[in-house]
Structure 1
Amino acid sequence: MRAWPWLFVLGLALALAAALPARAEYGDVVLDQTSTKAGVRPVVFPHWFHRIRFRCKVCHSELGFKMRAGANRVLMDDIINGKFCGMCHNGQVAWSPDRCDLCHSGKPGIEPGIRGDSQTKGPGKW
């Protein structure tokens, strides 16, 4: 059996995968279900940063986040009470919820959705 057909198929698969656009796995997610109404900046969630460090199941199974941007109603009371983001952002694992500016960093008026791609330089820097 010759090896070249398998190498060709593998090479083709890699080329196709590289040609696909970057998905939310590598972007920032702008969230604004309640922020603007409450008079604070929208949240910029660095999905890429968390995805590098954790498997999907950590947040989407163990912490209860649904697998779609904007599908979760997360309130500051939830976070302060140790739910959702507050499981880690408790002042011990990661910064505590009293550092508002670190999450509420979106420019006023920015549309919710996925921003950036694998080239993002960090939260809010596209």
Structure 2
Amino acid sequence: MKRLACALLLVLGLFMALPAGAEYGDVVLDRNSTKEGVRPVVFPHWFHRIRFRCKVCHSELGFRMRAGANVVRMDDIINGKFCGMCHNGQVAWSPERCDLCHSAKPGVKPGIYGSSETKGPGKW
């Protein structure tokens, strides 16, 4: 029994030592933003994950569960696809509030960051 408890503590310790994944951080996206002359997007995955199950975005809204696999353009969002399903001015702010999503520091590399590093969308 004591060995089992030690093994469980070891496994738990390994998981706690791993860097935070997207579920617990902000995702900086920049497929087209910099090329289009706007700041990269800060997507607060942790904030959405607290409120919704994975299937809401990854099944119902069509986001694939692989980094870089989704091509989302502002036209899609404005037309109610992807983020635009909720960011419509009724459920959440509308796409006209560019600064709330396109809020990463210019030049920041795409990737997953702890929310203390990005300060969340609209905070930089």
Q: Same fold (TM over 0.5)?
A: yes
1:18-47 deviations in whole A, cap 9, x for unaligned?
Answer: 222211211111111111111111111111
Q: Structure 2 residue aligned with 1:86, among 81, 84, 92?
A: 84
**Count of aligned residue pairs for this structure pair:** 124
What's the CA shift for 1:103?
0.3
CA distance in 2, matches of 1:43, 1:111: 11
Which amino acid in structure 1 is aligned with residue 43 of structure 2? Answer: F
> Relative to 1, partners in 2 of residues 1:119 and 1:54: Cα closer, same or farther, differing over 3 Å?
farther
> Relative to 1, partners in 2 of residues 1:46 and 1:18: Cα closer, same or farther, differing over 3 Å?
same
What's the CA shift for 1:10?
3.3
Larger Rg: 1
Partner of 2:105: 107
Partner of 1:35: 33
The CA RMSD measured in Å over matched residues stands at: 2.3
Which amino acid in structure 1 is aligned with residue 102 of structure 2? Answer: H
Percentage identity across paired residues of the two chains: 79
Which runs of 5 or more residues in structure 2 are unaligned? none
CA distance in 2, matches of 1:56, 1:42: 23
Deviates more, 1:37-46 or 1:82-91: 37-46
Which runs of 5 or more residues in structure 1 are unaligned? none
Deviates more, 1:32-41 or 1:85-94: 32-41
Taking structure 2 as the reference length, the TM-score comes to: 0.85
Determine if contact 1:35/1:43 at 8 Å carries over to the other structure: yes
Taking structure 1 as the reference length, the TM-score comes to: 0.84
CA distance in 1, matches of 2:118, 2:14: 22
Give 3-state SS (helix, strand or coil) of 1:93's partner: coil
Partner of 2:50: 52
CA distance in 1, matches of 2:122, 2:93: 18
